[in-house]
Structure 1
Amino acid sequence: MNTKQLERIHTGKGFIAALDQSGGSTPKALAQYGVQESSYSNEEEMYALVHEMRTRIIKSPAFDSRYILGAILFENTMDRSIDGQLTADYLWEKKGIVPFLKVDKGLAELEDGVQLMKPMPDLNDLLKRAVERNIFGTKMRSLIKEANPAGIKKVVEQQFAIGKQIVEMGLVPIIEPEVDIYSADKVASEKLLKDEISAQLSALDKDAKIMLKLSIPTENNFYSDLMKDPHVVRIVALSGGYSQAEANEKLAQNHGLIASFSRALSQDLTAGQSDEEFNALLSKTIQDIYEASIK
């Protein structure tokens, strides 16, 4: 583990940019960017276009380590290059931004009010490649839709079981048990979730380091006690479907919680914008998310 990167993520001022929409969400991300499905005829062309979009964001002068601590990539982006350097090396060496990798394979069907992660049979190979490509940490997402104690327990147990496997490879896992922001019993789900996370944290090896990526809680500062746990490097928040303005407003009310937004980061960026327009808009977005993150 790179101790300089660890220190940056643990104490740095700023937020984590999530550039990791993949698979099924890629056409949606491209469409939002103004690239329609008629612009590509196969997966390879689609991924080339999405890499162009990500490269444009990463190379923008607005994408600056004064505001951005880390960036979450997905596998295809990790394997590609920017200006002849692998993406993770470009991020860290040229930009001073810590690279993370999304490792999950999507969500299983809804059961017990939750969606667990699909099986990841090739996880070890992926983690080995991540280590070779100088990735610092990983991210994996589950989804909680109802305050079902058995379901929430399963979500957290699965996350921490795989999290331990990731820690053993020398990487820092971002554990992401998202609570659906539209859930009728979001508050009750968050209480169950916090209790399960606390139980799992107390059972971790002394030196294990993890991060948490959580929905912005309904009760402000609800996760502040988890932030004090010595295993927890940082707690980041997902935008979860809120608009950028709403996500920032809610985030600002939670002291110590920093953003890890994807949709809210790239909300109004389009392929047709001039570099000047694109960079100005991205700069304002980054500034706003940063301000909300340092409160």
Structure 2
Amino acid sequence: MLEIKYLNKSYGDTKVLTDLSLELEENKVYGLLGRNGVGKTTLLSIIANQISKSSGEVKLYGEEVFENPKALENICMVREKGIGVEDIKVKKIFNMAKILYKDWDEDYKNFLIKEFNFNTNKKYNKLSRGNQTIVGLILGLASRSKLTIFDEPSLGLDAAHRYKFYNLLLKDIENYPRTIIISTHLIDEVTNLFEEVIILKDESVYIKDEVNNLIEKAYFLNGKEENIAPIIEGKRVIHKEEFGTSVIVGLFHRLTGEEKQRLKDNNIDISPMPLQKLFVYLTENSHVKEAL
């Protein structure tokens, strides 16, 4: 569906993205993760043709996105920093969206307005940050665009509204499948939404994998170091904490059933590592140990 080849983006002498290549499939939900300043919003903005690339290819259904109205009518990006039209009423923003997005669902937009108990007669720039976010969420959901991008969709929202959005999105993509990209720092809240995760690091794609594959090889091991070390020798250790005579080891390596049993026989507790912690440890600047 979406194919990116050797994408580069620089601002003056500052490189943001370097030779980034990526392919996304139809009707999947992707999580785009990365530390602040790594280029997540830049990448999403290039995909949505909101900023230009320095070089490379970005194609949707085989057609270059750049200045291509046919491709762009299938893309909706909800940005974290507003929607570009500030001093007009929200209902006018929705009327503009109805013209812009070819798959726009007016009935669903009206349903969402009621669901969020939203007053569309207010001007966008007079809304609170949370209510501005809700406008963006309604735009993204009601656009029903084949590629819908949410860049930090939880800014300013309380927990109740965040989970309302997650539930609405889950229900909607079940009835109207499409490709979703969500960039967020609240990773644990949305892990169950993601089918695949893309992690950006060092100006490019560091990891792209299914969530289940990542979780199945990410563990915390808790016990005596002398009992843990021989069993995980040569495996990738991404975190270590010492507590007296015990250690907690973060391991990023698939364990066999036999290895798990040996750990248990040596009184080592094994627990799954949450996706958010896995992301933090993988993207830390400190040296990642390959073994204890």
Q: Quickly name the TM-score band, shorter chain normalised.
A: 0.3 to 0.5
- Structure showing greater radius of gyration is 2
- Output the TM-score relative to the length of structure 1: 0.36
Higher helix share: 1
- Output the TM-score relative to the length of structure 2: 0.36
Higher strand share: 2
